[in-house]
Amino acid sequence: MRSLIELIGRLREKMQKFRNELKRSEALTRYVLVDPMLKELGWDLDDPMKVRPEFVTETGKPDYALLWEGSPRIMVEVKPLESDLEKARSKGFEYCWQNKVPYYVITDGRIWKAYNVEELGGREVFSADLLRDTLGEAARKLLALWYPAMPKVEAAPEQIVKPPSPPSPPGITLKELHEKLRRGEKFPKPPTAICLPDGRREIVKIWKDIFIAVARYCLPHLKGKVPIKPRYGERILIGRSSSGMRTPRRINNLWLETNFSVKDLIRYSCYLLELAEMSPENVYLEL
């Protein structure tokens, strides 16, 4: 389970980093997002007794047939990232009905939908969104496709992810916080923690901790853009030296200016994510 959750975190980063390329290419979506997930779920892509790509049927060629004891058990259709998956659902059902395959999965790498087509109309077994679901919830849903759990495809109970616990603390996304501050809303104290898209959770004691955590997370995607300045103004946000900075903070071999108002700390956090081609909607703050 831990390795599955870690994979989902890495795939989130790739969706954001390569979003434009993945939207244009089904082949790249398969290679970058779908193949790693199938492998993690126990489907050996090198074993034709388990996986057959471009499986030929009389009604078409699904992208994958997942086999159980030598027979197709699940047909998988892949579309480029952010495609309209509903358009391919009826065709996929036809693949399964004509070949007596009980389960159908369609995915764009981010959203995974599984159906039991033996039931009238095709019952949805699960629908997972790797960006909007929590890491644990997405992992729990995808375990329905776990190879050792075959031949059934059923949603796993919540206890597989974690035992019953008190409700999570209230929170908002970084984007929501930015919008609230921009409207003039006041926050008497900072959030208690920041949850990053790769699953990391860091404690927040003062407002600048948010900016530092976001900068550290974005840094691998920003090194070629250093020094980094905001859209307006000449103050450097990230530089190769601390020269001219009022309150510098070292991150690896670079320097981060942290002497900003609360509003600007959050605004510049969103800006760094934007430069790294990531969304502040996927950064969660516990209040």
Same domain as 150, residue 191: no
Same domain as 138, residue 19: yes
Same domain as 23, residue 155: yes
d(CA 225, CA 241): 14
pTM for the model stands at 0.58
Residue 131's CATH number: 3.90.1570.30
Same domain as 142, residue 20: yes
What the block records as the tokens of 185 is: 């809303």
Position 229 confidence tier, pLDDT thresholds 50, 70, 90: confident
For 121, other C-beta atoms within 10 Å of its C-beta total 8
Domain that residue 155 falls in: 2-160
Say if 33 falls within a structural domain: yes
Same domain as 151, residue 11: yes
Per-residue pLDDT tens for 69-127?
Answer: 888 999 999 999 988 888 777 777 887 888 889 999 999 999 999 999 888 778 899 99
Determine the 3-state secondary structure of 195 from DSSP: strand
Say if 166 falls within a structural domain: no
Phi and psi torsions of 29, nearest 5°: -60, -45
Which of 160, 189, 209 corresponds to the end of one domain?
Answer: 160
Per-residue pLDDT tens for 175-202?
Answer: 999 999 999 998 889 999 998 877 778 9
Alpha-carbon Rg for the chain, nearest whole angstrom, is: 22
Determine the 3-state secondary structure of 147 from DSSP: helix
Same domain as 126, residue 6: yes
For 209, other C-beta atoms within 10 Å of its C-beta total 18
Say if 269 falls within a structural domain: yes
d(CA 53, CA 31): 12
